[in-house]
Structure 1
Amino acid sequence: MTNKPRPGLAIAALSLGTSLNPLNSSMIAVALVVLREDFALDVATVTWVITSFYLASAAGQPLMGRLADRFGPRRLFTVGMALVAVTCALAPFAPNFALVCVARALMAVGTATAYPSAVVMVTELSRLAKLPATRPLGRIQMANTSAAAVGPVVGGLLVSLLGWQALFAVNVPLALLALIVVHRAAPADAGRETGKLSALIRDSDIPGILAFVGSLMLAMMALLNVMPGYRWWLLGAATVIAALFAWRELRFRPPFLDLRLLGRNRPLLLVYLVFVVFSGVYYFAFFGLPQLLQEAGDYDAGLVGLLMFPLAAMSVLVTPVTVRLIERFGVRSVLIAGALILLLSSGGLGALTLSLWPPLVFVLTALMGVPYGVVSTASNQGLYVSARPEERGVAAGIFQTCRYLGAITATVLIGVLYGPGVNQSNWGLMVLVMLGLGTVVLGLAVAWKRKGV
């Protein structure tokens, strides 16, 4: 006996599941100082708790998109949520920092199933709900936006009251709820192949995945100067492996990262570039600002979380408005407007080099929440209209990888710029980098164009 699909409930549960990845990527921002103290780490080392999550997510998203297209989005979603629940139930008992990073990587793989699965299901769910696809996509994006933005608030409260272990434990009931509801309310995976495990392993392009992760890891080790005296050797090895990765992906079928998809679809490529660079700007603020407030301002994690709350509130308020503006004015116009606001808000953060007065921080984080909601939502809609229906799962996976590439770049540069000290002077250098990247986002937004949108 099969359950009758309930599209509204299914969209809500998919939104919950997709929110777990951005939620966990942002909650950790206010736990970095606590983790440094608990495990006696320096600034560069503690960033691996972030980069392990993003490396696994970056590698997992394109693969999960292809698996959603091949084996069915509902099946993949439930497996991913089960992995999250089990991992997060065990992670609080990790005895050392290395295992904390491993747990974060496994959590990233599980949560990476959610967004591609949701995008693949949107067409059928919107048909059943008799809604344009922009509406369920907007709801899913609003969940992602609000989860990433509210993460420091939730994380700050959990860390200050219960410790960093609570950041894992909170995921267990959320993942189980999303799993159960999607299994009961989403349409069955009709017409999808089941396949064999041996075929899945053969087609998964494991060498490509390893080359992708390896090149990123070596580049980060070089930039963070993990092995003094070998920086240029590490950077050279990263470049060679990246070249071999590109060579293989252009020849392997089906590739882990479909580079040909990017080459033949210019609007989609520009959406990806916008999101990579935008994510770099955003995560400079997202991970750099909490550390500045905690160390230079001597604020505790709970207060830092509250000071980041306006970002969450503005992101949530802006997202549904952005969806309506896109329906009226099109993706490109809204994307350009979001890029302009991004430049304005990034420049405003330069005021924190002069003062860390809490009301000033409150206003500036609220301002930063506006472009986060606008650019994220417009990019998400741009992805949907640029990708062909049969490629949306893979396209959505690559889209999320773009977020992680931007975030990885930001965390590495934060480690470099904060290496001499977490202070307002070095924060000023970050703001200059953010303004430069924001200008690139604006140029790419102007260049993006899709007929009819």
Structure 2
Amino acid sequence: MAVRPPRYDRTHGCGGVVSGASSSTPAEKKRGAGLAIASLSLGTGLNPLNSSMIAVALVDLQKTFTLGIAEATWVITAFYLASAAGQPLMGRLGDRFGPRRLFMFGMVVVMVVAVLTPFAPSFAWVCVGRVGLAIGTATAFPSAVAMVRPISKASGVSTPRLLGRIQMANTAGAAIGPVVGGLLVSTLGWPAIFAVNVPLALLALIGTRMFAPADAARRAERLRTLVVQSDVPGIALFIGTLVALLIFLLGLQSTPAWWLLAVAVVAGGAFVWRELTASTPFIDLRLLAANRSLMMVYLCFAVFNLVYYTAFFGLPQLLQDHGGYNAGITGLLMFPLAAVTIGLTPLGARWIERRGLRFTLLVGGVGLIVGTALLAVAAATVNPIAMLLITAAMGAPYCIVSIAMNQALYASARPKDRGVAAGIFQTSRYVGAIAATTVLGIVLTDGSGPNASAQWLIVIAIATGLAIVHALLLGSWHPREYEEQDTSGVPTTR
């Protein structure tokens, strides 16, 4: 295969000079690196921002398009399905076309979708818009991570520090989502949560264009090779299985479509066969079969996200439908959940270092049970003070478990498998979130009626039961023995 010659254009590098030049001072290079990372962080923050803003827009969408809760949850499910498929695929595309080029393309996709979706004539087109947002924002994180090393090399700023800034942007995006979404929906309506992406994506695109390093020369590959390496058939079977199963489950209360269950079983079997035989599988089932510790991490993380997102998406629905709060106030009442997560992140990391990973996981698991059970109070009262305290109480275990589960991932995966393992880890997050919206769609059928409190108690009973299962699974997890001699910087497990 022919190798393309190096490409140097007018794009500025980290030091603010033409790529390939070395006349910038160290201070200029660090400043350029800071602007590059700020631009990349803004782009990566769009995915969690859009993921969390929608939580306070469901009621407005229901009223606009005359929907039930089960139908409205598809606007969330569509986003997570596309994200689950898009994240690993975008990593491959970044390797093929260059991470900087892919990042900027993704920001263009976000802007186009954000401009068009507010004019959607039907709810189905809104869901299509959410899929477009998921695909566009999915380009950001793998592209940003790929650009960290050249930025670090050019500026002298350590890679962990740059990665830490990007991670904080992702956490902040999820944190401010309900507040930003609530203010936008209460003042401008649901179209505003799409339109707000336009200036943010534009800033990210311009900053990346000006300050991020140009893509290195890359070996040209055939499209067929790219398709095979991305396992597009496996991704299609994965999505087909989930969609068929979700439609079947959401239709159980009316007339169950049993043929969809059969489709889900057949597609699921075909997916397993494909992943076991593919040279580069979307989800490496062989890796899971050979590593019980890693498989337990994925199972625990999926159950954890099922519990968390049941509260994250269910509570705003209850506060607006049953409590009568508008979207703006609901967003403010939800803010402590994410704010506590941000505030406790440094303490959570220190706790792991001092007390050990397994102990921290168990503490977080027990805290999740308590925090979830406290949500039952909302069935009796939606007093704002009580809601602020309850959402803050949910934030603490979420922070602890999130940090510890990330460490457990690296404690369970072999160093050579950690890239693939991290991709499957993200997929397990999306699967948990999709399952949560399905639970809400099945149980919460009368959010503003007399049965709202009873239905909420059923949701919390399910979530609390799953939180107990999660804690038991955490208790059965043990790191692989080779991790005890690993020197990768992961805290020693005890």
TM normalised by structure 1 equals 0.90
**What is the aligned partner in structure 2 of residue 403 from structure 1?**
429
Once the two structures are TM-superposed, the CA of residue 173 in structure 1 deviates from its matched residue by 1.6
> Aligned partners of 1:382, 1:124: CA distance in 2, in Å?
28
Once the two structures are TM-superposed, the CA of residue 406 in structure 1 deviates from its matched residue by 0.7
**What is the aligned partner in structure 2 of residue 449 from structure 1?**
479
**What is the aligned partner in structure 1 of residue 184 from structure 2?**
158
> Aligned partners of 1:164, 1:185: CA distance in 2, in Å?
34
Contact (CA 8 Å) 1:278, 1:438: kept in 2 or not?
yes
Contact (CA 8 Å) 2:50, 2:177: kept in 1 or not?
yes
Contact (CA 8 Å) 2:305, 2:429: kept in 1 or not?
yes
Relative to structure 1, the CA distance from residue 350 to residue 380 in structure 2 (aligned partners, 3 Å threshold; closer, same or farther) is same
Once the two structures are TM-superposed, the CA of residue 16 in structure 1 deviates from its matched residue by 2.2
Alignment counterpart, residue 78 of structure 1, candidates 96, 104, 107: 104
Contact (CA 8 Å) 2:110, 2:137: kept in 1 or not?
yes
Contact (CA 8 Å) 1:65, 1:394: kept in 2 or not?
no
Once the two structures are TM-superposed, the CA of residue 99 in structure 1 deviates from its matched residue by 0.8
Once the two structures are TM-superposed, the CA of residue 183 in structure 1 deviates from its matched residue by 4.2
Is 1:96 matched up with 2:122? yes
Alignment counterpart, residue 67 of structure 2, candidates 37, 41, 56: 41
1:110-130, CA deviations, whole angstroms, 9 ceiling, x for partnerless residues? 112223334445566667655
1:251-278, CA deviations, whole angstroms, 9 ceiling, x for partnerless residues? 1222222223333444443332222111
**What is the aligned partner in structure 1 of residue 309 from structure 2?**
283
1:314-368, CA deviations, whole angstroms, 9 ceiling, x for partnerless residues? 1221123323444555544433332222122112112222211111001101111
Higher deviation after alignment, 4-13 or 438-447:
4-13
> Aligned partners of 2:95, 2:363: CA distance in 1, in Å?
33
Q: Secondary structure at the match of 1:308?
A: helix
1:278-337, CA deviations, whole angstroms, 9 ceiling, x for partnerless residues? 111111111110111111111111111111121232122112332344455554443333
Q: Secondary structure at the match of 1:41?
A: coil
1:380-416, CA deviations, whole angstroms, 9 ceiling, x for partnerless residues? 3444565566655543332222221111100011011
Relative to structure 1, the CA distance from residue 188 to residue 342 in structure 2 (aligned partners, 3 Å threshold; closer, same or farther) is farther
**What is the aligned partner in structure 1 of residue 245 from structure 2?**
219
Contact (CA 8 Å) 2:92, 2:230: kept in 1 or not?
no
Contact (CA 8 Å) 1:65, 1:396: kept in 2 or not?
no
Is 1:24 matched up with 2:24? no
Q: Which runs of 5+ in 2 are unaligned?
A: 1-7, 15-31, 485-490
Q: Which runs of 5+ in 1 are unaligned?
A: none
Aligned partner letter, 1:168? F
Is 1:318 matched up with 2:335? no
Relative to structure 1, the CA distance from residue 421 to residue 227 in structure 2 (aligned partners, 3 Å threshold; closer, same or farther) is closer
> Aligned partners of 2:418, 2:111: CA distance in 1, in Å?
27
**What is the aligned partner in structure 1 of residue 460 from structure 2?**
431
> Aligned partners of 1:404, 1:412: CA distance in 2, in Å?
12
> Aligned partners of 2:289, 2:355: CA distance in 1, in Å?
28
Alignment counterpart, residue 206 of structure 2, candidates 172, 180, 199: 180
Once the two structures are TM-superposed, the CA of residue 419 in structure 1 deviates from its matched residue by 2.1
Relative to structure 1, the CA distance from residue 126 to residue 441 in structure 2 (aligned partners, 3 Å threshold; closer, same or farther) is farther
Q: How does 1:117-128 map to 2 (within 5 A)?
A: 117-121=143-147
Q: How does 1:269-418 map to 2 (within 5 A)?
A: 269-383=295-409, 386-387=412-413, 392-418=418-444
Alignment counterpart, residue 469 of structure 2, candidates 417, 440, 446: 440
Relative to structure 1, the CA distance from residue 226 to residue 170 in structure 2 (aligned partners, 3 Å threshold; closer, same or farther) is farther
> Aligned partners of 2:98, 2:186: CA distance in 1, in Å?
40
Relative to structure 1, the CA distance from residue 227 to residue 363 in structure 2 (aligned partners, 3 Å threshold; closer, same or farther) is closer
Relative to structure 1, the CA distance from residue 110 to residue 315 in structure 2 (aligned partners, 3 Å threshold; closer, same or farther) is same
Aligned partner letter, 1:435? T
Once the two structures are TM-superposed, the CA of residue 444 in structure 1 deviates from its matched residue by 3.5
Once the two structures are TM-superposed, the CA of residue 159 in structure 1 deviates from its matched residue by 0.5
Higher deviation after alignment, 360-369 or 440-449:
440-449
> Aligned partners of 1:48, 1:122: CA distance in 2, in Å?
35
> Pairwise CA RMSD of aligned residues?
2.6
Once the two structures are TM-superposed, the CA of residue 105 in structure 1 deviates from its matched residue by 0.5
Name the structure, 1 or 2, with higher relative contact order (CA <8 Å, separation 6+): 1
Relative to structure 1, the CA distance from residue 311 to residue 39 in structure 2 (aligned partners, 3 Å threshold; closer, same or farther) is same
Query: If you compute each CA radius of gyration, which structure gives the higher value, 1 or 2?
Result: 2
**What is the aligned partner in structure 2 of residue 87 from structure 1?**
113
Contact (CA 8 Å) 2:92, 2:226: kept in 1 or not?
no
**What is the aligned partner in structure 2 of residue 142 from structure 1?**
168
Q: Secondary structure at the match of 1:193?
A: coil
Give the total of aligned pairs: 452
**What is the aligned partner in structure 1 of residue 233 from structure 2?**
207
> Aligned partners of 1:333, 1:124: CA distance in 2, in Å?
37
> Aligned partners of 2:291, 2:70: CA distance in 1, in Å?
37
Q: Secondary structure at the match of 2:193?
A: helix
Relative to structure 1, the CA distance from residue 360 to residue 354 in structure 2 (aligned partners, 3 Å threshold; closer, same or farther) is same
Aligned partner letter, 1:351? V
Q: Secondary structure at the match of 2:45?
A: helix
> Aligned partners of 2:216, 2:414: CA distance in 1, in Å?
20
> Aligned partners of 1:299, 1:404: CA distance in 2, in Å?
28
Relative to structure 1, the CA distance from residue 206 to residue 124 in structure 2 (aligned partners, 3 Å threshold; closer, same or farther) is same
